[in-house]
Amino acid sequence: MISAVVLAAGRSQRMGQPKMALPWGDTTVIGRVVQVLSQAGISDILVVTGGASEAVQAALQDSVARLVHNPAYAAGEMLSSLQVGLAGLPENCEAALVALGDQPQIQAQVVAGLLARYRSSRAVLVVPSYQMRRGHPWIVGRSLWPDIQALSPPQTLRDLLQANAGQIEYLAVDTDSILADLDTPDDYQRAIDHRV
């Protein structure tokens, strides 16, 4: 089984309001991410909350997602949220798809492509690439989870990827949506204007 860990613990400081709860079509930013992961065939979706946990919880109250809170969210590190998320996954989970809660542009075909590539290659890391640039979401096999749990600041997930560069299976995609996230009001407005 492959579970999803959605990192949604940020404080949205540059956005000025809880970005996960911002409207996105007929749902919210975080709601759209969960929707797409579910459409792509992931049944176990764990959302890691932090700064705006009440807003995220309200946005996901009718969704399939489970929520877990990262008590160290204020440090602002994505690493601690992933560590909390991985610790909350079921024992029969063999890999985790790591997604960003502020990436509502996420596309189901990209997620499905990553899942298919993981299942065929059994690579310990499967990462999407657009014009030679790595993006999200990506898949990490269970055998690497202890390495992630052992990381501590100033180490980051980039250090993990660099240390295991030879084991990364890249999935080339033709969409820059894997590189996009929402940090500022301008990012959000641009994304809304280009939403398909």
Asked if residue 76 has pLDDT above 70, the reply is: no
Which amino acid, 24?
W
**106 and 35 in contact (C-beta within 8 Å)?**
no
- Nearby residues of 83 by Cβ (< 8 Å), 6 or more positions away: 148, 149, 151
How many CA atoms, within 13 angstroms, populate the side-chain half-sphere of residue 33? 34
- Give residue-wise pLDDT tens across range 101-155: 999 999 999 999 999 999 999 999 999 999 989 999 999 999 999 999 999 888 8
Structure confidence at residue 26 as a pLDDT band (50, 70, 90): very high
Indicate the DSSP class of residue 167: G
Predicted pLDDT at 37:
97
Look at the domain 2-190 and name its fold: Spore Coat Polysaccharide Biosynthesis Protein SpsA; Chain A (3.90.550)
Extents of the domains making up the chain: 2-190
**67 and 27 in contact (C-beta within 8 Å)?**
no
Structure confidence at residue 182 as a pLDDT band (50, 70, 90): confident
